[in-house]
Structure 1
Amino acid sequence: MAENYTDPSGNTAQFRAFVDSPDSAPAAAETPSRLPLFAGIGVAAVVVVAVVVWLSLG
């Protein structure tokens, strides 16, 4: 092994540059879709309104 070998993990500046690299950002930035959440809230609201109407007519 060469005597002038420097371990990149031992250098804080190189490690921060690796962590902040744009190549790793898209994988961590992916978020799940909120469509199922909004659909569930919509269905729950329709059910609540239907129950209130049914109780008021009965």
Structure 2
Amino acid sequence: MSENYRDPSGNTEQFRAFVHTPEGTAPEAAPSRLPLIVGAAVVVLLVAVVAWLALG
């Protein structure tokens, strides 16, 4: 880390400037993992149905 780094919480003026930065400069939120979870559940269900049909 560089020695010139200033923690925005270091003083009130820096913190206020940090809080009032435009929304576009903030890091993007992580994408939702819900489709991945639903897809995994569907795959598990399909494998279970195929196994049940094959053994039945």
TM-score (norm 2): 0.46
Higher normalized contact order (CA 8 Å, seq sep 6+, divided by chain length) = 2
Bigger helix fraction: 1
User: Which structure: larger Rg?
Assistant: 1
TM-score (norm 1): 0.45
